[in-house]
Amino acid sequence: MDNRAIGVFDSGLGGLTAVRRLHALMPDEDIIYFGDTGRVPYGTRGRDTIIKYARQDVAFLRQFDLKAIIIACNTVSSVALDLLGHENDIPIIGTVEPACRRAMTMTQNGKVGVIGTAATVRSGAYERYLHHADGSLTLYTQPCPLFVPLVENGRVQRGDVVIETVVAEYLAPLKEAGVDTLILGCTHYPLLEGVIGDFMGPDVTLIDSGAEAANLASTQFDPAGGPGKTRYFVSDDPDGFDQLAGLFLQEQIDVGAGLVDISSY
Ligand code: DGL
């Protein structure tokens, strides 16, 4: 039994999709969540800035007694997973590998789509992993830079003409290419599962990268004895975070996020 907490971080609210899966799979675990709401989005930024922010996020979390950290952010996982792994003496789990592994088990026609932030797509991390693991796969990647701001503003519902228009614009090439598996390579995107699923059609399997990271984490270390408690921290506007967190967690809870000056780490 290992009662140390699991640290989880993202640029904002998106990483809560991983926390939701952790709550389902590992209800006895203590979780410390950090969302960098003062500096979201990360996906439009350059590599050096993403690395700097990720190091500060980890430094904040490492003040707590942790058994592992989940990078519930594809942008950081794509750019800085190896670096953070080398710099830390606890397991650091990212999203790219578990999402790819799931996609490989699901695809029937070998055509896999990957959508993510501009930085994630630019990094080539998904292509590297998938081509190395299975050279016969055909990959189609598409950056979707408007998704994160729309999701952070709660524009996620079916029937919302703004999000439906943007989804159609970004995903039309992937639909035309005939992908049968689509990796949601950003932890904000599972909130758009309904709209994306409607557009792509019922024969396309959507892969939730944050949930896959949580699935992997649940197999990696000794469980805690419970009862699990989750504490939330953000770098700006805790009230705004509290209001939208229920949408991501799909449960109404008293989040009570604490405010952190992340630039001091
Ligand atoms: N949710 C994040 C990801 O998985 C980051 C989104 C952003 O900050 O641009 O990539």
Residue 123 in contact with ligand 1 by CB distance below 6 A? no
Positive or negative, the CA dihedral 118, 122, 128, 131 is: positive
User: Does the pLDDT value for residue 159 go beyond 90?
Assistant: yes
Digit-coded pLDDT (tens) for 31-83: 999 999 999 999 999 999 999 999 999 999 999 999 999 999 999 999 999 99
- The pLDDT-based confidence of 253 (bands split at 50, 70, 90) is confident
pLDDT at 152 over 90: no
Pocket flag, ligand 1, residue 17 (CB < 6 Å) = no
pLDDT over 90 percentage in the chain = 96
- Which atom of ligand 1 approaches the CA of 95 most closely? 4
Please report the atom of ligand 1 found closest to the CA of residue 43: 9
Please identify, by atom number, the ligand 1 atom nearest to the C-alpha of residue 188: 1
| Cβ neighbours, 10 Å, residue 168 | 13
Residue 252 has pLDDT above 90, yes or no: no
Joined tokens for residue 97: 């590998």
Tell me, in angstroms, the distance from the centre of ligand 1 to residue 12's CA.
8
Distance between CA 85 and CA 63 in Å, rounded?
A: 17
Task: Report how far ligand 1's centroid is from the alpha carbon of 147 (Å).
Answer: 10
100 in catalytic set: no
The b-or-e profile of 125-138 (16+ CB within 10 A means b, else e) is bbeebbeeeeeebe
The response to whether residue 189 sits with its C-beta less than 6 Å from ligand 1 reads no
φ and ψ at residue 69, rounded to 5 degrees: -125, 135
CB of 35 closer than 6 A to ligand 1? no
Taking only the tens place, the pLDDT of each residue in 76-123 is 999 999 999 999 999 999 999 999 999 999 999 999 999 999 999 999
Mean pLDDT for 1-18 is 96
pLDDT confidence band for 221 (50 / 70 / 90): confident
Give the Å distances, CA to CA, from 156 to 75, 128, 200, 248: 21, 31, 16, 11
144 is catalytic: no
| Active-site choice (96, 184, 186, 216) | 186
For ligand 1, whether the C-beta of 235 sits within 6 Å is no
Q: What percent of the chain has pLDDT over 70?
A: 100
Exposure of 149 by Cβ count < 10 A (0-12 exposed, 13-18 middle, 19+ buried)?
Answer: middle
Structure token pair of residue 52:
């700097």
Question: Is residue 251 predicted with pLDDT exceeding 90?
Answer: no
Assigned token pair, 44: 């439009």
pLDDT tier for residue 16 given thresholds of 50, 70 and 90:
very high
Helix (H) or strand (E) holding 34: strand 31-35
How buried is residue 96: exposed, middle or buried, by Cβ count under 10 Å (0-12/13-18/19+)? buried
| Mean pLDDT along residues 206-234 | 95
Residue 14 CB less than 6 A away from ligand 1? yes
